[in-house]
Chain A
């Protein structure tokens, strides 16, 4: 088994575990918002991970939080890439004025710092999962648009594309059927990266208090952990479980992303031959 295989397997196993927790977990644990014990009790046989500053069960909150955090992460991750690919492919394939205008929009959006933009948008829009998703999509798409645009530009002049154009296929069909399937592995690894971004940014915004504070998610768990000053009294169990879960999901996604990257760009796999791989600077705020 090659190194790439091992990495993608570990990554996939980690992610599968958390998807299972997100899907089935909430039925197996107690009500996460019920006040079940005294505030800030350390882990015990009764409450395996202790209680929060309000006396809720930390284990239940961590398990239930996985559902909304991962759901928003995956949905936003896919939509971010879809939007980016649509805009990038349009710009790259049409060329001319459309490319000029869209290219400018992409580049301007790329140099805008993400977090302040997300904060100001989330602050003015009514709080909720839809706002959260919209904000994350609005700030996340430009990087993917740029990557896809470059790829489409390279593919546009290939013979099989010219043949489809000559056959009289409509433009959308040429892009969707002839060009985009060639980018499948690139889009796949982009979606993994975008999911990672969506989870990180969402947790950051919720930590700031810009999410729906009445719901239970990993971001709001951390928000309450600092708000109830659990930190200052040494109640590590209020923030360590959520953070470890976040890191494991992030690590799993990163491993899977590496493996998909290598499939999309085989040159990266032979890192010991001295090929200077590109240095992607993802905008993963938070």
Chain B
């Protein structure tokens, strides 16, 4: 598909998300916004209450005017005040969480993609070998468990029973956050177990995608031509087949991003990992609607943006996609 068309699709989706976020609190039956406003009336100072009114849309101004001031607020990056983390602004709360999620889910995504694609390519190269016959059913069985359930099982077995890994939070209480080696080591140690469960849960999908494409590519002209020229199998595998087969996987990399991120959110909740998922959980349980709306917007926009980047990347790497 034409790149410009795809990019405008993402823009349109972003606008739909923004607008949905505006409409939902205003259109709900029974007006939960009013109820929430009433609930916090005694507990918040007048200024925060005013901000809450704005985010929840309790206003007598005409809809169009409200919509315009809502868009203006977003453009200035104002997402309201969090109720759970009162009086911190939502933007600040999300900023901290976003860093941890990118670290954990981003790392897991890259590892799963590289490892899964590698295994898939190998399975196709050695068709009928043990990677091809044993691994796919095993991985799809593991993939049948919900992400977060695998996380629970891993936390219980490796964390609590064996005591190999910490099971709560992103770093230990004994280190001070900052750019020092102790902190980095602690952060990595805390990310290993949740990261590993995400890799295990998503590995099967990457492997199957890569294997199926690779099987097709291996029968293609360029590879057969290389074979006829007497190239070494290694050269043939890396320079010819792998490069050709990687492109479809890259496209699904973008598509799978939203899926992986969703899985990451639920995994974070299990481990009490202080990223977007944990914030989401706290926002739901504390009925922190401003935070919930802010999270919805940032996660949606992040996924759309990442998809756009991947699409541009595919066009840059594959001359055939440019026409």
A residues apposed to B, CB below 8 Å: 104, 107-108, 111-117, 119-121, 123-126, 200, 203-204, 207-210, 222, 225-226, 231-234, 236, 239-240, 242-243, 246-248, 250-251, 254, 271-272, 274-277, 279, 281, 283-286
A208–B266 CB distance below 8 A: yes
Question: B303 to chain A: closest CB distance in Å?
Answer: 4
B219–A236 CB distance below 8 A: no
A277 to B303, CA, bound (A): 27
Chain-A contact segment, one of B38-46, B81-89, B96-104, B289-297: B289-297
B144–A254 CB distance below 8 A: yes
A226 to B269, CA, bound (A): 9
B66 at the interface (CB under 8 A from A): no
A-facing residues in B211-229 (Cβ within 8 Å) = 212-213, 215-219
B95 at the interface (CB under 8 A from A): no
| Cross-interface CB contact of B146 among A108, A112, A203, A236, cutoff 8 Å | A203
A231–B155 CB distance below 8 A: yes
Chain-A contact segment, one of B106-114, B279-287, B315-323: B279-287
Given A116-B295, A120-B292, A208-B269; A285-B259 close (CB under 8 Å)? yes
List of 4 A-B pairs having minimum Cβ-Cβ separation, nearest first: A276-B216, A113-B258, A115-B262, A250-B144
A240–B262 CB distance below 8 A: no
B200 at the interface (CB under 8 A from A): no
A239–B9 CB distance below 8 A: no
Task: Report the number of A-B residue pairs with Cβ-Cβ less than 8 Å.
Answer: 167
A167 to B152, CA, bound (A): 61
B212–A120 CB distance below 8 A: no
B147 at the interface (CB under 8 A from A): yes
B residues apposed to A, CB below 8 Å: 9-10, 12-13, 16-17, 20-21, 24-25, 28-30, 32, 127, 140-141, 144-149, 152-153, 155-157, 160-161, 167, 208-209, 212-213, 215-219, 248, 252, 255-259, 261-263, 265-266, 269-270, 280-281, 284-285, 289, 292-293, 295-296, 299-300, 303-304, 307
Can you list 9 A-B contacts with CB-CB less than 8 angstroms, sorted by A residue number? Answer: A112-B300, A114-B262, A115-B258, A116-B300, A117-B20, A119-B284, A124-B24, A279-B209, A284-B259
Given A108-B16, A254-B140; A117-B152 close (CB under 8 Å)? no
A123 to B140, CA, bound (A): 32
Across-interface contacts of B280 in A (CB, < 8 A): 119, 208
Given A113-B262, A231-B152, A247-B141; A276-B212 close (CB under 8 Å)? yes
A279 to B217, CA, bound (A): 14
A204 to B303, CA, bound (A): 19
| Cross-interface CB contact of A231 among B160, B255, B262, B303, cutoff 8 Å | B160
A120 to B294, CA, bound (A): 10
A106 to B30, CA, bound (A): 30
Closest residue of A by beta carbon distance from B258: A113
B303–A239 CB distance below 8 A: no
Across-interface contacts of B262 in A (CB, < 8 A): 113-116, 204, 285-286
Question: B291 to chain A: closest CB distance in Å?
Answer: 11
| Cross-interface CB contact of B149 among A125, A233, A243, A275, cutoff 8 Å | A243
B160–A108 CB distance below 8 A: no
Across-interface contacts of A286 in B (CB, < 8 A): 146-148, 262-263, 266
A113–B292 CB distance below 8 A: no
B144–A251 CB distance below 8 A: yes
A236–B307 CB distance below 8 A: no
| Cross-interface CB contact of A119 among B140, B212, B252, B292, cutoff 8 Å | B292
Select the residue from A111, A114, A243, A276 with max chain B CB neighbours within 10 A: A111
Across-interface contacts of A112 in B (CB, < 8 A): 13, 16-17, 300
A107 to B219, CA, bound (A): 33
A108 to B13, CA, bound (A): 5
Across-interface contacts of A208 in B (CB, < 8 A): 266, 269, 280-281, 284
Question: B28 to chain A: closest CB distance in Å?
Answer: 5
Closest residue of A by beta carbon distance from B29: A126
B9–A111 CB distance below 8 A: yes
| Cross-interface CB contact of A209 among B147, B155, B259, B281, cutoff 8 Å | B281
Across-interface contacts of A121 in B (CB, < 8 A): 24
A72 to B281, CA, bound (A): 23
